[in-house]
Amino acid sequence: MSGKRQKTQCSLALEPRDRGEASVVVSPRAEPAMAKPAPESPAVTEQLMEVVCDGENLRSAWKRVRRNQGGPGVDGMSIDDAKDYLREHWPGIRFQLLDGTYQPQPVKRVEIPKPDGGIRKLGVPCVVDRLIQQAVLQVLQEQWDPTFSEHSYGFRPGRSAHQAVAQAQRYVAEGYDVVVDLDLEKFFDRVNHDGLMARVAARVSDKRVLKLIRAFLTAGVMEDGLLLPVDEGTPQGGPLSPLLSNLVLDDLDRELTRRGHRFCRYADDCNIYVRSRRAGERVLASVSRFLTTKLRLKVNETKSAVARPEERKFLGFSISNDGGERRIAPKALDAFKTRIRERTRRT
């Protein structure tokens, strides 16, 4: 994202190109570019919503939303329907965003099976809200991501699950061959809104952006025709949720770093590597207390454990203790074989 953003005074028009991409038509009436804020600044700018509504940022956000596809939200509007809708209604939506009065629609509840059993509940925003969330994400991620821990790998530009597993292998090869495998119980559903917004407000001073993020958190969930209120959690399914979850768990990263631990975190999957089982039991107890008392999160005691890395699964892999060799975890391999059987004939 370019640092030379303009505060445009025009509407968004989505027009098809030859390749079916979205285009943003920007009026030539534009004010001088804003300076790019420093990543470490606690309150980056009072004019952040103007940056979110910038034509270049919106064009990039729309391309990402189209590329990701995804089903309609509660309004039943598809990607193609939204293109026509935005061409007509964007001036009014933009005015509401800049005025601080925009109200997102509730998310649609969608249930998908987990690879290892159970159901994961997603909240799918409508396409227009996905566009706005993506536009907010792009601005905030550019400013926040450089401040996050080097041990955090999930939902960050240029980082991946394979990098996290490779780092875990190095820890094991160095002799840290006992893992504290932390499982946070329903993390995305239990994030405290007040605590989260306090963290956002420490980095953002534009009250319109703060109000918009709070509105996305509390918009509610539509399930079986009923609107259910939401007073905690960041609904999985929207573009903004992963960034907000990383913001909450950045406190965990900082605490583990302060204690000198060797760890890898991918979203809510966190593994800490120590030299002995006794040390692991001590770390599990103390970190669990920190998560409960400081972050108001609950550790799943039945799924968390202190064990040899080859006995646990981290992002679909297990790591052997004799040299840190990476192997596909048995459950992940079984799930893969099941998908192959479902998609191919017996011949």
Q: Indicate the pLDDT class of residue 176, thresholds 50, 70 and 90.
A: very high
Query: What was the pLDDT predicted at 322?
Result: 76
**How far is residue 53's CA from residue 62's CA, in Å, rounded to a whole number?**
12
Give me the half-sphere count of Cα atoms (radius 13 Å) on the Cβ side of residue 185.
Answer: 12
Query: What was the pLDDT predicted at 77?
Result: 95
Residue 30 has pLDDT above 50, yes or no: no
Query: What was the pLDDT predicted at 324?
Result: 61
- What is the biggest distance separating any 2 CA atoms in the chain, rounded to whole angstroms? 66
What is the chain's mean pLDDT, rounded? 85
DSSP state of 328: E
Residue 8 has pLDDT above 90, yes or no: no
Residue 94 has pLDDT above 60, yes or no: yes
Query: What was the pLDDT predicted at 229?
Result: 87
Residue 322: exposure state from Cβ atoms within 10 A (0-12, 13-18, ≥19): exposed
Portion of the chain with pLDDT greater than 70, in percent: 84
Question: What average pLDDT does range 61-86 have in this prediction?
Answer: 94
Model pTM score = 0.81
- pLDDT tens column, 107-154: 998 888 776 667 788 899 999 999 999 999 999 999 999 999 999 999
Q: What is the residue whose two structure tokens read 């975890």? A: 329
**How far is residue 131's CA from residue 62's CA, in Å, rounded to a whole number?**
6
Helices (H), 43-177: 48-52, 55-68, 79-99, 127-144, 161-173
Query: What was the pLDDT predicted at 323?
Result: 63
**How far is residue 163's CA from residue 21's CA, in Å, rounded to a whole number?**
32
**How far is residue 276's CA from residue 292's CA, in Å, rounded to a whole number?**
24
Query: What was the pLDDT predicted at 158?
Result: 95
Query: What was the pLDDT predicted at 122?
Result: 87
- pLDDT tens column, 205-257: 999 999 999 999 999 998 888 888 888 888 788 999 999 999 999 999 999 99
